[in-house]
Chain A
Amino acid sequence: MKAKVSVTLKRGILDPQGQAVLHALSSLGYSGVKDVRVGKLIELELATHDRAGAEAEVKAMCERLLANTIIEEYRIELME
Chain B
Amino acid sequence: MTATLRVGILVFPGSNCDRDCHYAVTQVMGGRADFVWHKEPTLPQVDAVIIPGGFSYGDYLRTGAIARFSPVMAAVTRFAQAGGLVLGICNGFQILLEAGLLPGAMLRNRSLSFLCKDIHVRVENTATPFTSRCKPSQVLTLPIAHGEGNYYADQATLTRLKARNQVIFRYCTEDGKVTPEANPNGSLDNIAGIVNDTGNVLGVMPHPERCADALLGNEDGRLILLSLLDAIKRGRYSPKPVLAS
Contact = CB atoms under 8 A, between A and B. Distances in A.
Interface string A40-71: 10000000000000000000000001101011
Nearest to A65: B65
B18 interface: no
Contact of B105 (A14, A40, A65, A70): A70
Interface in B22-69: 61-62, 65-66, 69
A68 B64 CA distance: 11
A70 B65 CA distance: 13
A16 B111 contact: yes
Given A9-B107, A14-B186, A68 B65 contact: yes
Interface string B133-166: 0000000000000000000111000000000000
A71 B107 contact: yes
Contact of B104 (A13, A16, A40, A70): A70
B98 interface: yes
B21 to A, nearest CB: 26
Given A9-B107, A13-B107, A13-B152, A68 B62 contact: yes
Given A13-B152, A14-B186, A68 B105 contact: yes
A17 interface: yes
B152 A71 contact: yes
Which has the most chain A C-beta neighbours within 10 Å: B61, B66, B153, B186? B61
A35 B111 CA distance: 18
A20 interface: yes
A16 B107 CA distance: 9
B216 interface: no
A70 B102 CA distance: 12
A70 B109 contact: no
Given A65-B65, A66-B61, A68-B65, A16 B105 contact: no
A42 to B, nearest CB: 8
Interface in B70-117: 98, 104-105, 107-112
Interface in A1-37: 9, 13-14, 16-17, 20
A19 to B, nearest CB: 9
Contacts of B69: 65
16 contacts: A9-B107, A13-B107, A14-B107, A16-B107, A17-B112, A20-B112, A40-B61, A65-B65, A65-B66, A65-B69, A68-B98, A70-B105, A70-B152, A71-B105, A71-B107, A71-B152
Given A14-B110, A16-B111, A68-B98, 16 more contacts: A16-B107, A16-B108, A16-B109, A16-B110, A16-B112, A17-B108, A17-B112, A20-B112, A65-B65, A68-B62, A68-B105, A70-B104, A70-B105, A70-B152, A70-B154, A71-B107
